Structure 1
Amino acid sequence: MDRYVERGASWTALAYGPGFALLGFLAELLTGATHTVAWVIVGLGLAAITAPWVYARRRFLTVRVTGEALWQGRERLPLTDIAEVADVGAPTGARVLGGGWTTPNKYDSLPIRLTDGTVVLAWAKDVEALRTVLQEARTA
């Protein structure tokens, strides 16, 4: 059961390319000459280009808290390893969860103290919600 989920991207982004192509086709209808096949190819091409981007963002930038673990991308951190999530300072060089060198762009960091005393950086777009869920999950 998921207590918290923050997807890296939505599959609805695949509709942007075909939507753009539809707008182009409708604009051509106003001029009289239409290139239906070309617009279909453009729409499918843009959707095909967008699909790997959405897949990668969903795989590597999804934040999830289950009953047992915090998932940051493909990295799993058991909740039993978390000692503290409130008032933890982030030391220079703290390891970023999820395998990256830095916190992903447009994400805020949340320092977490582990039971072994080390501090790691979790990340989310809504850090306060993640902190609240992690505090509740630790006490449950």
Structure 2
Amino acid sequence: MDNDAGPVLYAEKGASWWPLAWGPAFAVIGVAVELITGPVSVLFWSLVAFGLLIPTALWVQGRQRLYSIRLTPATLREGRETLRLADIAAVEGIEPRAGATVLGGGWDIPKGTDGVPIKLTDGTVVLGWAKDAEALRTALHRLLTRA
């Protein structure tokens, strides 16, 4: 179920692409040091830059897939899990329960995020998460009170 149609009311990317600059920056520093100390191995430093670029791109893509958040009028997608808004009963005044299922498939909320307890229509409480938990809670509350 991945019905992300409609305007995006709240979103977090999960990761930015700026870490891709780490490998080439490290290679440029290596070339600069070699310029000062002796012969420069441009081929070696090019391979270093490319060699660091590939795993970093995979890391960023993985983080974007696992830690992104997208709220539309129809769905809330947190990481790999999509929750229909029709299945959400409330987000205000909900106490987090020990052992509540974390949305997105993890054991715990991701580092650097805060929990957003969500009560489902079947009475269970799940734990959503966001870097700006209050903004996500407010956006969800607005959608629920409009429906």
Q: Name structure 2 gaps, 5 residues minimum.
A: 1-6
Instruction: Output one character per residue of 1:38-85: Cα deviation in whole Å (capped at 9) or x when no partner.
Output: 111000000111111111111111011012110011211111211111
Task: Indicate whether 1:59 and 2:65 are aligned.
Answer: yes
Amino acid paired to 1:124: A
TM-score, L = length of structure 2 = 0.89
Asked whether 1:94 is paired with 2:100, we answer yes
- Runs (4 or more) in structure 1 with deviation over 6 Å come to none
- Provide the identity percentage: 50
2:138 is the counterpart of 1:129: no
1:66-123 per-position Cα deviation (integer Å, ceiling 9, x unaligned): 1211001121111121111112101111111111121122221111111111100001
RMSD over aligned CA atoms reads: 1.3
CA distance in 2 between counterparts of 1:2 and 1:104 reads: 22
TM-score by length of 1: 0.93
Gaps of 5+ in 1: none
Question: Residue 12 of structure 1: CA displacement?
Answer: 2.0
In 1, Cα distance between equivalents of 2:135 and 2:25? 33
Code of the residue aligned with 2:136 in structure 1: it is L
- Paired positions, count: 140
